[in-house]
Amino acid sequence: MVVPWLVKTLLVIPPWLQKKYPQLQWRIPTKKKILFLTFDDGPCPEHTPFVLHLLRAYQAKATFFLVGKQIEKYPDLVRLILQNGHAIGNHTYSHKDAWRTPLKTYLNEVFITETLLKPFLPKQYPLLFRPPYGHWKKTLICSLKDRYQIVLWEVLAGDFAKKLSLTQCLKILLQYTRPGSIVVFHDSIRHGNRMRYLLSNAIQHWSQQGYRFCSLWNGY
């Protein structure tokens, strides 16, 4: 399949960009058939339980980047994520855009969410942070890099890209993932239905290809 340049650019992070910003984690260097599935914007009672059930069926571990407001609403879902052996990370309190938010306000969102996460976090694991939309500034990275492992991604599933067909998103997702790829899905009300289709089909394909699935806490 030949992927249109613009579509690929929207969903796949090119190697040159990964090399330009090595302080950000785009993938895990490995030759083993391991993928790092991540889920943003939850927890969400409509879709997170589905994700957990599907991951359990494939003996898969993943990483969930949680929004502070959702943590407050659904603490039992946070506990359920951890009980299933998955990792959790910080995704700001209200899904702020770093490009449109003053640094002080943005950092306050991060630290509020850190306070909400602390009761759940095992002390031996690193603090993980992912900026919403993948938007960041150098001042933000400088402010957080010594405290957080800042995680971006190599491939987006495209569950948010409603102008693209699910078939097209799935083909790109399967074509460009490789050993060590960090892949993003969204277990949210807004994108959950598309996520279900893409995750169900992709994890079945990857499993048939001999991949296993690790969290960013247990995948090293």
Question: For residues 137 and 139, what is the distance between their CA atoms, to the nearest angstrom?
Answer: 5
Whether the predicted pLDDT of 99 surpasses 70: yes
Note the Cα 82 to chain centre separation in Å. 16
pLDDT in tens, 111-144: 999 999 999 998 888 999 999 999 999 999 999 9
Q: Terminal CA-to-CA distance of the chain, rounded, Å?
A: 32
Residues 6+ apart with CB under 8 A from 113: 66, 67, 68, 71, 90, 91, 92, 93
Question: For residues 59 and 46, what is the distance between their CA atoms, to the nearest angstrom?
Answer: 22
Question: Around Cβ 118, how many Cβ atoms within 10 Å?
Answer: 10
Supply the pLDDT for residue 9. 52
Q: What percent of the chain has pLDDT over 70?
A: 95
Question: For residues 196 and 186, what is the distance between their CA atoms, to the nearest angstrom?
Answer: 9
Lowest mean pLDDT among 87-96, 157-166, 177-186, 204-213: 157-166
Host H or E run for residue 44: none
Do residues 12 and 171 make contact, with C-beta atoms less than 8 angstroms apart?
Answer: no
Tell me the Cα Rg of the chain. 16
Structure tokens at 205: 């394909």
Q: Which residues belong to the active site?
A: 40, 186
Q: For domain 28-213, give its CATH number from 2.60.40.10, 3.20.20.105, 3.20.20.370, 3.50.50.60.
A: 3.20.20.370
Nearest to 210 by CA among 168, 178, 176: 178
